[in-house]
Amino acid sequence: MSLMGSRYQTGKTRFLFVQSIPYFLSLAYNLNMTSLKRLKVFLCHSSGDKAQVKQLYDFLSKSGAAPWLDSEELLPGQDWNLEINKALDDSDVILLCLSKKSVDKEGYVQKEIRLALDRALEMPDGRIFLIPARLEECELPYKIRTYQWVDVFAPNGMDRLMKSLNLRAGQVKAQTLSLDGSPPVVQKSEPKKQSKPRRAASTTTINIHGSMTGSNIVVGDNNDVNNES
């Protein structure tokens, strides 16, 4: 009986291990997802659109991206020109936030647009890198009209923007963004219930010597007893 009990426990341990495989696979997937970097989005804008762009910054942050906005990222004493250029070089995608103010305004925003265009020219064909995002109805600068724009003020504007950003996230192996602005959650797959594996029938051979008249012979395997009269 001790031998049978040992064999049964070994089989039970093996069953529990097999049942745990989906959990470990799910855990490995989640660890891989959390190890992915956040999509770096540079927000190019005019100072006159700061309030609207700040809302966009907050939305992208909650969605799982790593947006860069000068008023949020620059620290006192830093060389803002140097830091902005570093952020542009380090970004995965550049969002050109356009309005009537930014299109007609002279100054640093025009320089940022030119720098963004220079970076875009370095990208392989088919890559999403420069996204013109209109904050209101306005004319696009001639030099960026070859890029498809998105109207973030339109009913489906943010959905289209997020789809584009997720496409870019896939290109640079970054985390997928949540489409509703909520923190991205990696769903854990529930382990599938496994039925207890059936043990093969015992192949033990019993050699009987002598007369067994009047005796009862009980043959069993793992407490499942075959009683034949």
- The least confident of 61-70, 98-107, 164-173 is 98-107
In this prediction, residue 35 has a pLDDT band, given cuts at 50, 70 and 90, of confident
For residue 211, the number of C-alpha atoms closer than 13 Å in the C-beta half-sphere is: 2
190-222 residue pLDDT tens: 455 555 656 555 555 555 555 555 555 555 555
DSSP letter (8 states) at residue 155: T
The string of pLDDT tens digits covering residues 64-105 is 999 999 999 999 999 988 998 899 999 999 999 999 888 776
DSSP-derived pairing of the beta strands 150-151 and 219-221? unpaired
CB 69 within 8 A of CB 53: yes
The torsion defined by the Cα of 147, 152, 155 and 157, in degrees rounded to 10, comes to 40
CA 48 to chain centre: 34
Which residues, including other chains, have CB under 8 Å from residue 43's CB and lie 6 or more apart?
53, 56, 57, 67, 68, 69, 95, 97
CATH class of 38-171: alpha beta
